[in-house]
């Protein structure tokens, strides 16, 4: 049972308390990004999954999938109102279907009395809420097995995936290893270039999906994720963009019953009242 003291607002540091977890060996931007787009009465706390000798292999996610439940258990005990799992690959690493992931999230959330949202499934929920049917996938830095696994997941969710490709497929890198060596941080102009590449090959889609958590350097060198770029990118390519980070934050806000501040792309803006 979730400790009863968290039912009283006077015992909480923030009105809305959010717990995030990310893959091992990644200092994750999600807590910081989420706070930047939240009101002052929202707090965020991160908890890294501990997997020694982690090498970003899908099999390692399968072997350590149980750590996600441990994370929610800890966050629930500490007063989190909702938990978010960063990283798209975890939803497909076991060959699970969207319905199976939905059931896993619901079971964990019910067990610890704290809603639990996985980024890869939040994308599916966001696309459904938007009424999108035909989609394209900008698979950014994803390795081929990651790319193909998430493409399968989206197809099983019922979407017409008309095109998908990663940065190497698009010709921005000669090899996957060259892309990997960037450690998920890329030149700032690659965000728009890759979106334009996808739209040119799939001009009639309802939305563009971006998996993973790519970072793009702004003019002063600071890396930014899609949540900081989606408004400008959507204006440039004329399509809604549903990225893993944006979809996760959108779903968390929905569970909290609150909304982001400032201006955003179509998905997050849908939570804001006029």
In a shared domain, residues 57 and 99: yes
Average pLDDT over residues 127-147: 97
Q: The tokens of 92 are what?
A: 């497909």
The string of DSSP codes covering 38-95 is S-TTEEEEEEE---TT----HHHHHHTTHHHHHHHHHHHHTT-SEEEE--SGGGTTT-
Tens digit of each residue's pLDDT (9 = 90 or more) over 57-111: 778 777 878 889 999 999 999 999 999 999 999 899 889 999 999 999 999 999 9
Task: Decide: 239 and 208 in contact? Cβ < 8 Å.
Answer: yes
pLDDT above 80: residue 247: yes
pTM assigned to the model: 0.96
**Residue 106 domain flag:** yes
In a shared domain, residues 217 and 117: no
pLDDT band at 273 (very low <50, low <70, confident <90, very high): confident
In a shared domain, residues 114 and 15: yes
In a shared domain, residues 230 and 166: yes
pLDDT band at 135 (very low <50, low <70, confident <90, very high): very high
In a shared domain, residues 118 and 190: no
In a shared domain, residues 261 and 164: no
Q: For position 60, what pLDDT does the model report?
A: 72
pLDDT band at 274 (very low <50, low <70, confident <90, very high): low
**Residue 210 domain flag:** yes
In a shared domain, residues 168 and 260: no
**Residue 226 domain flag:** yes
Number of independent structural domains in the chain: 2
b/e for 208-239, b at 16 or more Cβ within 10 A? bbbbbbbbbbeeeeebbbbbbbbbebbeebeb
Average pLDDT over residues 242-248: 98
Average pLDDT over residues 223-240: 97
Q: For position 55, what pLDDT does the model report?
A: 67
Task: Decide: 243 and 210 in contact? Cβ < 8 Å.
Answer: yes
In a shared domain, residues 46 and 98: yes
pLDDT above 80: residue 169: yes
The residue assigned the tokens 């940065």 is 167
In a shared domain, residues 163 and 179: yes
Average pLDDT over residues 16-33: 92
In a shared domain, residues 134 and 206: yes
Which residues constitute the domain of residue 14?
4-122+246-269
Mean pLDDT of the chain: 95
CATH number of the CATH domain containing 221: 3.40.50.12500
In a shared domain, residues 17 and 114: yes
Average pLDDT over residues 242-265: 97
**Residue partners of 181: CB distance under 8 A and separation at least 6:** none
Q: For position 48, what pLDDT does the model report?
A: 87
Better-scored residue on pLDDT, 51 or 154: 154
pLDDT above 70: residue 5: yes
**Residue 274 domain flag:** no
């Amino acid at each position: 049972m979730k400790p009863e003291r968290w039912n009283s607002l006077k015992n909480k540091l923030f009105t809305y308390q959010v717990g995030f977890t990310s893959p091992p060996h990644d200092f994750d931007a999600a807590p910081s990004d989420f706070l930047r787009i939240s009101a002052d009465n929202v707090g965020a706390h991160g908890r890294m999954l501990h997997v020694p000798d982690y090498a970003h292999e899908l099999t390692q996610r399968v072997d350590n999938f149980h750590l996600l439940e441990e994370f929610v258990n800890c966050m629930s005990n500490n007063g989190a109102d909702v938990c978010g799992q960063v990283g798209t690959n975890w939803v497909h690493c076991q060959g699970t279907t969207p319905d199976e992931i939905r059931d896993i999230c619901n079971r964990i959330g019910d067990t610890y009395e704290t809603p639990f949202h996985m980024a890869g499934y939040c994308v599916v929920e966001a696309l459904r809420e938007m009424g999108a049917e035909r989609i394209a996938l900008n698979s950014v830095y994803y390795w081929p097995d990651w790319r193909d696994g998430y493409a399968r997941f989206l197809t099983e969710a019922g979407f017409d995936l008309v095109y998908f490709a990663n940065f190497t497929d698009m010709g921005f890198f000669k090899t996957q290893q060259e892309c990997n060596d960037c450690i998920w941080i890329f030149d700032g102009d690659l965000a728009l270039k890759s979106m334009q590449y996808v739209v040119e090959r799939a001009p009639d889609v309802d939305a563009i999906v971006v998996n993973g958590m790519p970072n793009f350097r702004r003019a002063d060198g600071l890396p930014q994720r899609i949540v900081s770029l989606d408004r400008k990118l959507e204006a440039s390519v004329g399509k809604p963009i549903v990225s893993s980070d944006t979809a996760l934050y959108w779903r968390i806000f929905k569970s909290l019953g609150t909304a982001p501040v400032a201006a955003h792309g179509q998905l997050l803006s849908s939570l804001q009242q006029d």
